[in-house]
Amino acid sequence: MTQKRKHYSKQFKIDAVELVTKQGYKVSEAARNLGIHHSSLKRWKKQLETDGNQSFPGIVISVKILGLKFLSFIAGIYSSSSG
């Protein structure tokens, strides 16, 4: 039986990372208390350190990409119909 992948909000990830960076918890301890895998917390910590406020964009990126694909599709329709 396959397990569904869990999705966590941006705020949850930030709060989890802050347990380590601001409150002094060890990654393994914080992860265990939150019920997540320590590798997830390590990855979130690295992302937050690298990307800052741009970390964990979630669906925003998908909507932007979808919008660009839609605009490209519309542009293709207009260019093929006018030629």
Query: Cα separation of 23 and 21, whole Å?
Result: 6
Query: Cα separation of 55 and 10, whole Å?
Result: 8
Q: Judge whether 60 and 53 are in contact, CB under 8 Å.
A: no
* Residues 6-46 pLDDT 10s: 888 899 999 999 999 999 999 999 999 999 999 999 999 99
Q: Other C-beta atoms within 10 Å of 16: how many?
A: 22
Looking at residues 54-71, what average pLDDT do you find?
A: 68
Domains in the chain: ranges and CATH: 10-81 (1.10.10)
Query: Cα separation of 69 and 74, whole Å?
Result: 9
pLDDT at 82: 59
* Residues 40-61 pLDDT 10s: 999 999 999 999 888 887 765 5
pTM above 0.85, yes or no: no
